[in-house]
Structure 1
Amino acid sequence: MLEDKFGRRFHYLRLSVTDVCNFSCDYCLPDGYQCDSDRDFLRLSEIRQICSGFAKLGTQKIRITGGEPSLRKDLPEIIQIASTTPGIKQVAITTNGYRLAQQVESWFNAGLNSLNVSIDSLDPRMFASITGHNKLDTILTGISRALELGLKVKVNGVLMRQYNDNELERFLAWLKDTPITFRMIELMETGDNVEFFKRNHLSGEPIKQKLIAHGWTPVIQDKTAGPAQEFWHPDYRGKIGLIMPYSKDFCASCNRLRISATGKLHLCLFADKGLDIRPLLQDTDTHLLQQQLKHLLGDKEASHWLDQGFTGATKHLAMLGG
């Protein structure tokens, strides 16, 4: 079992397979994707070793992230590798939904259990303004298809003062008859968005208190769940969640590690550097990989220190899929 010096156990791996994204979201890549790093992304054989090594150390859930993972033509093969790894019980993906309607069935057939889709606004004009693409209707069609297939669907929206501060009621109306979980994520400061963060950061705490006051009840999460506080209401088919990285003790329940698309272990989304494990992925035996993972975990810090303005090596969220 992967366990750090603070007693936190890690059942959950976020595996980035590309840092390329075709959206230009204002809070992440406002100028679009800039190729400023090595694009020798993980090969299928290396992904297989990662999945196997982590599974043997107790990992039960793998989330495939980017950038935008659907930009890899071999994404179904990646999903199949993860889903057929002994010990892995859940395979999820985070996507901007651009190709969801066309590709979700192939992902499902490869073994996908659930997906997260990014939608920061249900207003088509605002959505296009944020992302640079007029694709909201297409993405909503893809979500409907995913639900028809029986996939568990979560939708992520980043809270931003100047963009979607007034959309809570619109999202709640959507949840009335739609069996998804919508999670509002506090905007996080990164190396590239400091001024944007200062203008747009909102705390999720007032929204949490409003939900509780209107009869929303906390959902009990399992050990592989992410960091969201989720709530349900008997009058709604959908659930709502809040991810508040600036809240007290946010890191106390951390259960996830990250691998970048070029084979670096990140002990935190905001770690000051990635730790290169790629040489260990060339060995068909995962024993050395497992030993190194346990050793490197000793350097994991108690907190991300975001509240102190520390953003580490994370220039933008596309680097590691958030």
Structure 2
Amino acid sequence: MSGLQSNSNSTNRLTDQFGRVITYLRLSVTDRCDLRCTYCMAEDMVFLPKQDVLTLEEMLKVSEAFIERGVKRIRLTGGEPLVRKNIMWLIKALGDKVKAGELDEITLTTNGTQLPLMADALYDAGVRRVNISLDTLDRETFKKTARRDQLEQVLKGIDAAIKAGLRVKINTVAMRGKNEDELPALLKWATEKGVDLTLIETMPLGDVADAREDTYLPLSKVKDDLEKTFTLAPSSYHTGGPARYFKVDDTNTKLGLITPLTNNFCDGCNRMRVTCTGRIYMCLGQDDHVDLRAALRGGNADDALAECLNKATGNKPRAHDFAMSDGKMVGKVGRHMSQTGG
């Protein structure tokens, strides 16, 4: 690439038709995962053949193209990003860009199973924040939700991340009839651990075993219930993602709420998602996409990538179509969250 001089040039930045500047890239490095969470994957998932997935070198080139156009935060996602072979090579390369001032931060979303072995290496590579998915502290509920008996390993991963110096945020999908009654205890646990907790409404992404309407839990109700036990004060804290934050009691813990169905967060959307196959999805809740893989593997990749980024930004929609209507979720898209990148 030609360097990062254009990063400070406002005329070169990725700005959509609604005036939103794209500064945040969520890059999926794999569709594979060592868990099978019911709201994310089918039990019998068919994973992509190796040749369809971008190489790590191609993912770095994509990242550099976004950085040149003003992206300042990159989050690696999956599937489970830490099961990708040699993933530390990419993390170190992006960490070097943080150290050089070309990126503000490199973060990742993980299920935590690999952190007992990898937390120290992540910190050494320049990662300072991780989001860890955890929907329950009950072993049996975890086994039913994740279809794997891995709660103890995940908890060890959380402790390893804290010990390594990583700032931890727990991501929890709030589900009626599954973990609804546990949410106050989970928030109390987060305050005792000194970590933040973000609750997420389930979204209509891909076909899964259970009808999502059966487990849909509006976070407006959850917040009202939590306020019977905790004092939640609105916070101006912001990470660049879609969560709205509240300070919890007199602790250092912040509660985040991501509400795609009850109160969408689209007006301030500053991000794009790139799948492990090289598709840019301009919106999590839309199927429209631009193919980067063909650009990467054809002639004159730099110019082709720039053209793809311009097209994607120009086609970014105002909002997703997720909504509840007469007790049914509408706006469903066919791909699973694990294929898009969490």
> Same-fold call, TM > 0.5?
yes
Identity %: 33
Measured in 2, the distance between the counterparts of 1:233 and 1:272 equals 37
> Contact between 1:92 and 1:115, CA under 8 Å: does it hold in 2?
yes
1:34 maps to which of 46, 53, 73: 46
Deviations 1:53-104 (A, max 9, x none): 1111111110001111111121111111222235211111111111111112
- TM-score, normalised relative to structure 1: 0.92
Matches within 5 A, 1:127-206: 127-193=142-208, 195-206=210-221
- TM-score, normalised relative to structure 2: 0.87
Measured in 2, the distance between the counterparts of 1:132 and 1:94 equals 19
1:9 partner letter: V
| Structure 1, unpaired ranges of 5+ | none
Measured in 1, the distance between the counterparts of 2:131 and 2:191 equals 19
CA gap of 1:284–1:219, structure 2 versus 1, over 3 A, is farther
CA gap of 1:114–1:161, structure 2 versus 1, over 3 A, is same
Q: Secondary structure at the match of 2:193?
A: coil
2:232 maps to which of 190, 197, 216: 216
| Corresponding residue number in structure 2 for 1:9 | 21
Measured in 2, the distance between the counterparts of 1:34 and 1:272 equals 20
Runs (4 or more) in structure 1 with deviation over 3 Å come to: 36-39, 209-214, 282-288
Measured in 1, the distance between the counterparts of 2:209 and 2:283 equals 19
> Contact between 2:15 and 2:22, CA under 8 Å: does it hold in 1?
yes
> Contact between 1:21 and 1:33, CA under 8 Å: does it hold in 2?
no
TM-superposed CA distance for 1:36, in Å, is 5.7
Measured in 1, the distance between the counterparts of 2:334 and 2:261 equals 18
Q: Secondary structure at the match of 1:217?
A: strand
Q: Secondary structure at the match of 2:63?
A: helix
Deviations 1:266-298 (A, max 9, x none): 111122143111233357873542343123211
| Corresponding residue number in structure 2 for 1:259 | 274
CA gap of 1:37–1:159, structure 2 versus 1, over 3 A, is farther
| Corresponding residue number in structure 2 for 1:243 | 258
1:203 partner letter: P
> Contact between 1:13 and 1:257, CA under 8 Å: does it hold in 2?
yes
TM-superposed CA distance for 1:158, in Å, is 0.7
Deviations 1:192-244 (A, max 9, x none): 0385202110100122344567421122134x521111111343232211111
1:52 partner letter: E
2:332 partner letter: T
Measured in 1, the distance between the counterparts of 2:295 and 2:146 equals 37
| Corresponding residue number in structure 1 for 2:4 | none
TM-superposed CA distance for 1:38, in Å, is 6.4
TM-superposed CA distance for 1:172, in Å, is 2.1
Deviations 1:106-138 (A, max 9, x none): 222222121111111111111111112222122
Measured in 2, the distance between the counterparts of 1:88 and 1:261 equals 21
> Contact between 2:54 and 2:278, CA under 8 Å: does it hold in 1?
yes
Measured in 2, the distance between the counterparts of 1:256 and 1:7 equals 13
| Corresponding residue number in structure 1 for 2:7 | none
